[in-house]
Amino acid sequence: MTQNVSIYSNAKKIELHYCFNDESHTMDAVIRNKCEHEFLEIVKHVSTLFNVELELESEAYTEGGLREWWSLTIKKNPTLAAIIIGVLINVLSNYITTDQELNDLQKQELRLSIEKLKQDLEENKEEIPTIHIENATFIINNDIKVQKHKSNFYKNLEDYRKVIKIETTALTEKNKPINEPVPVERADFGKFVLTSDELPSDFDNEAIIEIVSPVLTNTSYKWKGIYKGEPIDFSMKDKDFKESVISEKETFKNGTYIECVLEISRKVSDFGEVKNSSYSVLTVIKKDDGISQVITKQGKKYLDEQDAKKRQLSLNFNETE
């Protein structure tokens, strides 16, 4: 599902409408409070991404299922509220796009777009900057904090059978609807829920790890080291280097470090914080004990492969000129 809501300059409020499977106007208080918390976290983080100071006020609930009205005010740039309302409606009604679905070029464009968005907002404090709302939605919908809080929001509703649909609508200051309600049906709630807390791994291809405690036996125990000034436990998955250590061909002393390819596994918490969950050394490129530096056989092979890739990329680039 891809909903695209236009920017209406007179949008001041957003309506969140819980539609029920009966004629009642009551909702489980715990579920409602949990959903409200996740919605507010999304709004708060969106304001951070837009680099604006935002005030959000809740109005009395109205009937028709249960309707919540939220009034947005931007202190330094009031006209920006319309953009944020449009983006919020889009984000709440667009499926989650996983990191795996984004290629490297898209990720780079995403990072550049975020910086450009902040720059545009900084340079246009007194007026609505030229922002493509679909691009802004794409940027924010792929932010992991937004994704996690949106996932929590819909997971709460997925477990609460009374809610059959969610609708979001932009309102004027006098609560007049500006657009048709944007619906999300119960059947689609699961498409907004993250299936795992695991994120794609990061890779440091030139990681420097000072060895604190190597594992000298053929076990699955983790090594201890210092990486970027922080102590870490890591798995040694370079079989050749591990065998050299077990056979005592490699020795260690105070200050010994390795240069290696390091895989960093990541998870996202319930609060949308990305945390490193484990570390694995895939290839030891070089070992340095302060006196001598030795490039490993597998390290030399890895460096040769990287050089070949660079030469190929350079060749392909020259051919397109």
DSSP bridge pairs for 57: 71
User: Which strands make up the sheet holding 163-171, listed edge to edge?
Assistant: 54-58, 66-74, 13-20, 163-171, 182-185
Name the DSSP letter for residue 291: S
CATH 1.10.10 fits 198-320, yes or no: no
Instruction: Count other Cβ atoms within 10 Å, centred on residue 147.
Output: 22
- For the chain, where do the domains classified as CATH 2.40.50 start and end? 198-320
Q: Give dist(CA 301, CA 321) in Å, integer.
A: 31
pLDDT in tens, the chain (321 residues): 444 445 566 889 999 999 999 988 899 999 999 999 999 999 999 888 877 888 899 987 776 789 999 999 887 777 778 888 888 998 899 887 655 545 555 556 656 666 666 666 666 554 555 555 666 777 788 888 999 999 999 999 999 999 999 999 999 989 999 989 999 999 999 999 988 888 888 999 999 999 999 999 999 899 999 999 999 999 999 999 999 999 999 989 999 999 999 999 999 888 888 899 999 999 999 999 988 899 999 999 999 999 888 887 666 545 555
Torsions phi, psi for 68 (to 5 deg): -110, 135
Per the listing, tokens 């898209």 go with 106
Within 13 Å, how many C-alpha atoms sit on residue 109's CB side?
Answer: 8
Contact between 5 and 86 (Cβ < 8 Å): yes
Alpha-carbon Rg for the chain in angstroms:
26
